[in-house]
């Protein structure tokens, strides 16, 4: 009896905290816009087949490089494919690569950073040197080497991004843990004999969450841009898979840039809009999730 009432109480209090955060979210206009744009663009990509009847891979050689019209609202490319359909379907892969790479990098960075920051000493030095090796090696060359080793492909690209992109989160989390470690409540936990894993992940990690979330959103944006850059160079996802970067690949020649603006402007705007939106969202989340406010 007492148990059920207390459980209900906790639930009620928890929702009230959620309500406070929702309210903070709504009052932060930029973050709300960012969130809506992110969700909107993701949904458009996911439900692409319901939005456009064109197949992004369907070539139509009698209808190449058409300027935007009512029939093809973003025009067609050099093979007569519908650019609007390509941008929609391309968003699937681009967002998938960005989010999954950032997630992987964050998980590795948080684990390594928490361990290095909490224990310090030798473990810290080893992990720090290890991350420095990755950081000092030219990133692009590392990516090229890994892509040529693993082969092109969406999942291989994600693996490459995770391997080359965990260091910033690692450094951030390590520094946060070095600060939080000195807080008295960590000593309190230790003097109660609470297990170390619980101290790190249940007591310290929640207090370092807001910079981690901001770093995560920045990473999503960064990986989407990196994917676009690599695909533009022809090193990312195979050209047969439409991604925002692959569509822009067509704009490598100066002829396309000057004469067929819709080929690069549409995917370019899609990338910029998504990256901008996710940055706004990350900025807003930092304020919203801060427990001290």
Partner 1 sequence: MTTSKREEMIFSIKNLKTHYPVLGGFFRKQIGTVKAVDDVTIDVRRGETLGIVGESGCGKSTLAKTMMLLEKPTEGKMLYDFNGEQKDVTKLNAGDVFDFRSRVQMVFQDPYSSLNPSKRIIESFDEPLRVHGYKNPAERKQRIIESLRMVNLSEDYLYRFPHEFSGGQRQRISIARALCINPELIICDEPVSALDVSIQAQVLNLMKEIQKELNLTYVFIAHDLSVVQYMSDRVVVMYLGKIVEISEASNLHVNPLHPYTEALLSAVPVPVVNEGKSKRIPLTGDVPSPINRPSGCPFSNRCPKRMDICTQVEPPLQSYGEEDHQVACHLYTKPI
Residue ranges that bind partner 1, judged by CB under 8 A: 2-3, 6, 9-10, 13, 183-185, 187-195, 198, 202-203, 206-207, 291-292
Q: C-alpha distances in angstroms, 235 versus 68, 88, 145, 243, 263?
A: 29, 21, 11, 12, 19
Query: Which CB sits closer to partner 1, 2 or 62?
Result: 2
Comparison of 71 and 290: residue with beta carbon closer to partner 1: 290
Q: 217, 206, 293: which is closest to 21 by C-alpha?
A: 293
Based on CB atoms, which residue is closest to partner 1, 159 or 194? 194
Compute the least distance from the CB of residue 285 to partner 1, in Å. 15
Shortest distance in whole angstroms from residue 242 CB to partner 1: 43
Q: Which is nearer to partner 1, 78 or 203 (CB)?
A: 203
**Terminal C-alpha separation, the chain:** 35
Q: How far is the CB of 125 from partner 1 (least distance, A)?
A: 10
| For partner 1, the closer CB: 5 or 62 | 5
H helices present in 28-166, as ranges: 29-46, 48-51, 83-119, 121-136, 139-150, 154-165
For partner 1, which is the closer residue by CB, 49 or 195?
Answer: 195
Give phi and psi for 53, each to the nearest 5.
Answer: -90, -5
Smallest distance, Å, CB 10 to partner 1? 8
Nearer to partner 1, 2 or 136 (CB): 2
CB of 116 to partner 1, least distance (A): 17
User: Going by C-beta distance under 8 Å and a sequence separation of 6 or more, which residues neighbour residue 89?
Assistant: 45, 48, 56, 242
Alpha carbons 213 and 22: distance in angstroms, whole number: 17
**Residue 268 C-beta: closest distance to partner 1, Å:** 40
Secondary structure (DSSP) of 129-189: HHHHHHHHS-HHHHHHHHHHHH-SSHHHHHHHHHHHHSHHHHHHHHHHHHHHTTSHHHHHH
Q: Closest approach of Cβ 4 to partner 1, in Å?
A: 10
| Separation CA 59–CA 75 (nearest Å) | 13
């Amino acid at each position: 009896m007492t148990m059920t009432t207390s459980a209900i109480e906790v639930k009620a209090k928890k929702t009230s905290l959620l309500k406070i955060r929702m309210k903070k979210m709504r009052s932060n206009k930029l973050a709300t816009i960012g969130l809506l744009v992110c969700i909107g663009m993701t949904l458009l990509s996911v439900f692409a087949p319901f939005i456009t009847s064109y197949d992004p891979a369907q070539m139509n050689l009698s209808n190449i490089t058409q300027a935007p019209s009512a029939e093809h609202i973003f025009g067609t490319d050099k093979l007569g494919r519908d650019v609007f359909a390509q941008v929609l379907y391309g968003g699937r892969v681009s967002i998938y690569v960005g989010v999954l790479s950032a997630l992987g990098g964050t998980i590795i960075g948080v684990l390594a950073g928490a361990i290095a920051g909490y224990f310090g000493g030798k473990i810290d030095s080893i992990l720090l040197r290890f991350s420095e090796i990755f950081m000092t090696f030219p990133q692009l060359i590392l990516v090229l080497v890994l892509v040529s080793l693993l082969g092109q492909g969406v999942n291989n690209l994600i693996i490459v991004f995770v391997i080359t992109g965990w260091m910033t989160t690692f450094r951030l989390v390590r520094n946060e843990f070095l600060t939080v470690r000195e807080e008295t409540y960590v000593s309190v936990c230790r003097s109660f004999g609470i297990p170390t894993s619980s101290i790190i992940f249940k007591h310290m990690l929640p207090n370092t969450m807001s910079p981690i979330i901001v770093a995560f959103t920045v990473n999503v944006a960064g990986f989407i841009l990196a994917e676009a850059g690599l695909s533009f160079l022809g090193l990312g996802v195979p050209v047969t898979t439409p991604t925002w970067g692959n569509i822009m690949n067509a704009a490598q020649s100066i002829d396309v840039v000057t004469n067929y603006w819709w080929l690069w402007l549409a995917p370019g705007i899609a990338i910029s809009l998504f990256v901008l939106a996710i940055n706004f969202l990350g900025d807003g989340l930092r304020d919203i999730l801060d427990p001290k406010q």
